[in-house]
Amino acid sequence: MSDFTPPRPSPQEGSVFTFYILHFSFAFHIVIFQAIAGQARNDRLPSCVLCLVSDYLCLIIFLAQVSAIAQTCGKEGKIDKKIVSLPTNILNMIFEQTFKNIDDILHKDAGCGSELDYVEQTSWILFLKYLDDLEKDRSIAAELTGKPYTPIIDKEYQWNVWAMPKKKKAGSELVELDHHKAMNGDDLTDFVNNKLFPYLKKFKTNAESADTIEYKIGEIFSELKNRLQSGYNLREVITLIDSLRFRTHAEKHEMSHLYEAKIKNMGNAGRNGGEYYTPRPLITTIVKVVNPKIGYKIYDGACGSAGFLCEAFNYLKTSKSLSAKESEILQKKSFYGKEKKSLAYIIGIMNMILHGIEAPNIIHTNTLAENIADIQEKDRYDVVLANPPFGGKERAEVQQNFPVKTGETASLFLQHFIKILKAGGKAGVVIKNTFLSNTDNATVAIRKQLLENCNLHTVLDLPGGTFTGAGVKTVVLFFEKGRPTQKTWFYQLNLDRNLGKTNPLNENDLADFVEKQKTFADSENSWTIDVKDIDQNTFDLSVKNPNKKEEATLRSPQKILDEIKALDNESVEILKIIEELI
């Protein structure tokens, strides 16, 4: 026999090994769970089957956590928090599969006919679950400081009363859905439609101010309705969403990413993709170039799903170690948005909440209905980040709010953004590339206004396909208000592939632009123009890239035909030689 004794892992190594073996087990079992869940929906298995499997999975998680804690506690009882938390890939898998199962249920419901409906209905239920977790966190925080806590929601309308009433299992500390108290079928839809929604709508009028979570509750439930016609489908969706948590940073982070993926899918499925979703790599790049600072007021007057505001929040949150005062500034006094459409407004609020902003400063209004002559200094912002809708047409009465009257929505928004910026304020705005060259009176006048009142220092020319389904080419205008433009640096994003749904824009595509923009360096894809050299009547900015290598001159059709004939003659000669050999 060999005397070899295998080395024993240290207690910490052993705990890591044990914990991840358990996570592997969890990952395996979640697949089983999803298969059973799908079977339950298709074959109408009793809902208790789902509950039993769900409880079994909860037990696995519980054992994994206990194992990690027990084995990583030293003599002083210290715990390695990195080991205790679920790995990101496991969280992602759980959340992603849950969203998929919810979509499957909504697809079967007569009241939900599109991806837009799926996101809307998921959003209001998700919001109420988030609110329940927020209340729990606030209650614990109050208890730790010895202060009383008054819940936002009255008891009858709290999640654990109407949505998921639970009881302890016999002879166990684990809990399960209390089927005697839980509503289902028509009882559930009647309660939601006739009691819950009317109750939540009242928060808007009773809230102290618009920057509170109470006001947002009222706004959200004033703008939408429950579209699920089957109370049994609603019960299944609620049960699935109850399995999601919003308690840790990792959980919120993963949830926000998956929610944005749903918004992206909705944009791809809808008629106006860019209306709901601007590609995140492009947003990230625009924020980097504009480079906002903590204390700046950041604004998007056509915020849609609030992608720019969320990314600006992430950018500032990770820019430095924040003090308590700076964190409060980011939460309450930094990000402002306006949105005209109800669904986009709801999604924008939900997206910001999932990214960590408790009471987003987004207003449901038509930005263009405001007369820009009424904008005062107190109304202005330090930064504008926006992708206003392009291709829309505005009514004559709306056009009266602007000095340059045009039906083109994006042109009206650009006038609004220039006006609402503070002196020295910075902007990054996406707009159709035809804005650079159109010769109609309105576009020429707005180009002149932009060049005379702002320093248009950078133009990023994007390739077709950047916006899925939009069908137009776009540019990004980077400008600072307060002094006229003297020189403008252009960058033409030339990629070696076609962009599309399965091959989207990524951050690496934009890395060269970000680097060269710092010094306005010339290259094969970038160049600088002097504004005094452009046509002073049209202010046409569609300058051809002078640094791009000239492509080979195309041959004339006659030369191509002559070459084809010569090749044909050669082929005939070769065939004759082959025939002689045969």
* In the predicted structure, residue 565 carries a pLDDT above the cut 90: no
* In the predicted structure, residue 450 carries a pLDDT above the cut 90: yes
355, 432: one domain: yes
Query: By three-state DSSP, how is residue 261 classified?
Result: helix
| Predicted pLDDT at 72 | 40
Give the rounded percent of residues in the chain with a pLDDT score beyond 70. Answer: 78
* In the predicted structure, residue 508 carries a pLDDT above the cut 70: yes
At which residue do the structure tokens 């966190």 appear? Answer: 137
262, 345: one domain: no
CATH number, residue 434? 3.40.50.150
Q: Is residue 549 part of a domain?
A: no
Report how far residue 447's alpha carbon sits from residue 436's, in angstroms, rounded to the nearest whole number.
8
Mean of the per-residue pLDDT values for the chain?
81
- Give the residue with greater pLDDT, 558 vs 62: 558
| Predicted pLDDT at 546 | 87
* In the predicted structure, residue 28 carries a pLDDT above the cut 90: no
| Model confidence, pTM | 0.74
CATH number, residue 208? 1.20.1260.30
Report which listed range, 69-78, 242-251, 427-436, is most confident. 427-436
* In the predicted structure, residue 540 carries a pLDDT above the cut 90: yes
Quick count: other Cβ atoms within 10 Å of Cβ 255?
Answer: 23
| Predicted pLDDT at 170 | 81
- Give the residue with greater pLDDT, 133 vs 427: 427
- Give the residue with greater pLDDT, 550 vs 516: 516
Is the CB of residue 279 less than 8 Å from the CB of residue 499?
Answer: no
If you write DSSP's letter for every residue of 448-492 in order, what string do you get?
Answer: HHHHHHEEEEEEEEPPTTSSTTT-S-EEEEEEEETS--SEEEEEE
| Predicted pLDDT at 133 | 86
If you write DSSP's letter for every residue of 301-321 in order, what string do you get?
Answer: TT-TTTHHHHHHHHHHHTSSP
Q: Is residue 106 part of a domain?
A: yes
Report how far residue 406's alpha carbon sits from residue 446's, in angstroms, rounded to the nearest whole number.
10
**pLDDT tens across 373-388, in order?**
999 999 999 999 999 9
Report how far residue 129's alpha carbon sits from residue 344's, in angstroms, rounded to the nearest whole number.
20
Q: Is residue 558 part of a domain?
A: no
Q: What angle do CA 166, 98, 129 make, to 5 degrees?
A: 45
Query: By three-state DSSP, how is residue 408 classified?
Result: strand
| Predicted pLDDT at 254 | 66
335, 234: one domain: no
Total of domains in the chain: 3
Of 85, 105, 134, at which residue does a domain stop?
85
DSSP H/E element including 508: helix 507-517
* In the predicted structure, residue 15 carries a pLDDT above the cut 50: no
Among 260, 221, 255, CA closest to 348: 260
Among 490, 479, 476, CA closest to 528: 490
Name the residue range of residue 41's domain: 8-85
Report how far residue 47's alpha carbon sits from residue 56's, in angstroms, rounded to the nearest whole number.
14
| Predicted pLDDT at 3 | 42
| Predicted pLDDT at 11 | 39
Q: Is residue 222 part of a domain?
A: yes
Report how far residue 192's alpha carbon sits from residue 226's, in angstroms, rounded to the nearest whole number.
8
* In the predicted structure, residue 158 carries a pLDDT above the cut 90: yes
| Mean pLDDT, residues 344-356 | 85
Strands (E), 272-396: 298-300, 335-339, 361-364, 381-386
517, 383: one domain: yes
203, 232: one domain: yes
244, 316: one domain: no
Among 386, 414, 370, CA closest to 303: 386
Report how far residue 76's alpha carbon sits from residue 290's, in angstroms, rounded to the nearest whole number.
48
* In the predicted structure, residue 26 carries a pLDDT above the cut 50: no
| Predicted pLDDT at 358 | 79
* In the predicted structure, residue 23 carries a pLDDT above the cut 60: no
The terminus-to-terminus CA distance of the chain in angstroms comes to 76
C-alpha R_g of the chain:
29
* In the predicted structure, residue 40 carries a pLDDT above the cut 50: no
Q: Is residue 552 part of a domain?
A: no
Residue type, 485: T
DSSP H/E element including 108: helix 88-108
The residue count of the chain comes to 582
**pLDDT tens across 427-437, in order?**
999 999 999 99
Q: Is residue 155 part of a domain?
A: yes
* In the predicted structure, residue 175 carries a pLDDT above the cut 90: no
Which class for 60: exposed (0-12), middle (13-18), buried (19 or more C-beta within 10 A)?
Answer: middle
Among 563, 31, 512, CA closest to 289: 512
236, 361: one domain: no
Q: Is residue 214 part of a domain?
A: yes
Q: Is residue 400 part of a domain?
A: yes
313, 209: one domain: no
